[in-house]
Amino acid sequence: MVFISFYMHLSSSNCSCFKWIVIFMFLYMFALSQADPRISEAGLFCGKSRPPPNASYIPLFVKEMRFLSQLVTSQNWGSSAMNNSAISIYSLAHCYRDLSHDDCLQCYAASRTLLPRCLPAVSGRIFLDGCFLRYDNYSFLGETVDPNWDKRNCNSSIDDNINQIQFTRSEFNKTVEDLIHNVTTSAALNDGYAVAGLKGVYGLADCWKTLSTNGCRECLTAAGREVMECLPSREGRAMNAGCYLRYSTKKFYSNHSDTTNQSSEMLKTGTVLAIVLSVSAFSMLSVFCGYAVYRRWNKRNQARKNLGLISCSYNKSNLNFKYETLEKATNYFDPSRKVGQGGAGAVYRGTLTNGKTVAVKRLFFSTRQWVDEFFNEVNLISGIQHKNLVKLLGCSIEGPESLLVYEFVPNKSLEQYLFDDKKVKILSWKERYDIIVGTAEGIAFLHGGSEYRIIHRDIKTSNVLLDENLNPKIADFGLARSFAVDRSHLSTGIAGTL
C-alpha cells in the first residue's frame, strides 16, 4: 500500500523529490525479494454446523476479520469475539514468531483470503507455513489439543531426498526424534517458541499466545508424538488446537538471533544497493519525470481505464447509478428494508427519486473472487431480457462497495413459499405448474434463446423469485458461465450450493 501511495503521488510531485522515490522503490523491491511470508497451505479444516437462518452471519464474520487485522498489524497476533442476538464468533490469528512484521502481514492476508472457503460453516481453521487463523462459535482460546481437529501433514519419504541427507533411515529417525525433543523442550521454557537445527534437520515449535506455560507444554508434547508418526518422511507438521510443530530437511525458518550473519548481510546489501543506485539514479529519475508529465496529461483517460471493461459497458447502457443515490434510496441500508440475503450479499428494497421501487444488492466482500462474480453478473444479464429472468436495471462500482440494482419482485423467493415454517400462502397445483413451466422457459432462454449461451449453475428455490402474479423470475447470475455455441456445457469446476 505504501508503494501504491507513492505511485499515485507522482502526478502531483516535483521531479526534485523523485530521487527519494527511486531509493524507496529499490529498497522496497529488494526487501520483497528477500521476504518469505511462507503462505503455503499446510491444512484447511472446516466444520459442518451452519448458522441459524437469517442470522446475518457473513457481515459479522467480515467485521470480525477487519478487527483482527488491526490487532495483527499492531502485534503480529490477535484474538477477538463478536456477537449479536443470534450468533457469536470467536477468532484467533497468530504468526509464527520467526516471521518479520511485513511477512506476518502478508501471511495473515493470505490466510484471510483462503479461510472464507469454509463459509457458511460456523467454524474453520487454516494453517499456513507462516501463520494460523481460526474462527469458531465458542471461546476456544485456552484449548491445547482437540482429538477431532488436530492433524498432521507429512511430505514425501526421506528416500526421495537421499542425496541431500547422507545417513540411513534409522539415523534420520533418531536425529528427528532428538530434534523434536530439543525444540519442544526449549519452546516450553522460552515463552512458547523455539527453533533448532541438528545434523541437517531443522525444527520450529510455536504455541499460541493465549496458552499458559503448562498448556503450551501439553500441546507440544502431543504435537511431538503426532509429528513423529510422519517418519521416515523428510518433512512433517503437527497442527494442534493450541500449537504448531514442524521439522524439515530444509531450513525453512528465519533465525533473527544470528546478529553476526545479519550484520554481514546488511553490509553486503548496502554495498550492492549503493552501486546499483549510483548507476541507475539518473536514468530512473529521467524515466519518472517523463512518466509524471505523461500521467498528468493522461489522468482523466487513465481513470476511465481503471474502471475496466465493465465500467465502459454499463456507462454506454445507461446502467450507471451513483452510490449516494442508492444509499438514500435504501435509507442508508436500513435493516428494516432488508428483503433477503445470500452467500454473496444482502438485498434491500429501495425507492428512487422518481418513485420507482427497486432491489439493491450489496456485495459483502471486495476480494478478487467477489469482484469477478460482480462483473460476471453485470456483463451477462445486462444484455438479455426475458419475462422469466430478473431484469438488471443498473449498478454502482465507484463507491466504497459494489452494488447491483434489479427490478423489485414483491413476493420474494419460491423457497419461502415451499420451505418456510410460517408460510403466508400455500401454492395451488395450478400455481406450482405455472412456476415450473416459467422457470423452465427462463432456463431454456438462457441455454439457447439469446445471443449468449449461459449456464446458470446455481438454480435453487431461493434464486427463483415470484412477482405480484406469482410468475417466476430467475435471479442471481453470480456463478453463471457463458459458452460459445460450439462449446459443451459440461464443466469440472465446482460451483453452486451444497
H or E element, residue 170: helix 169-189
How far apart are the C-alpha atoms of 437 and 498, rounded to whole Å? 25
Which one of 98, 129, 150, 458 is the catalytic residue? 458
How far apart are the C-alpha atoms of 160 and 163, rounded to whole Å? 8
Q: Where are the alpha helices (DSSP H) in 199-333?
A: 213-228, 259-297, 299-306, 308-316, 323-329
Residue with cell 436500513: 334
Is the preceding peptide bond at 120 cis, omega within 30 degrees of 0? yes
| Beta carbons of 60 and 169 less than 8 angstroms apart | no
Is 258 one of the annotated active-site residues of the chain?
A: no
Nearest to 63 by CA among 75, 81, 44, 45: 81
DSSP 363: E
Residue 274's alpha-carbon distances to 255, 263, 278, 466, 479, in angstroms, are 26, 16, 6, 69, 51
How far apart are the C-alpha atoms of 280 and 93, rounded to whole Å? 41
User: Active-site residues: which are they?
Assistant: 458
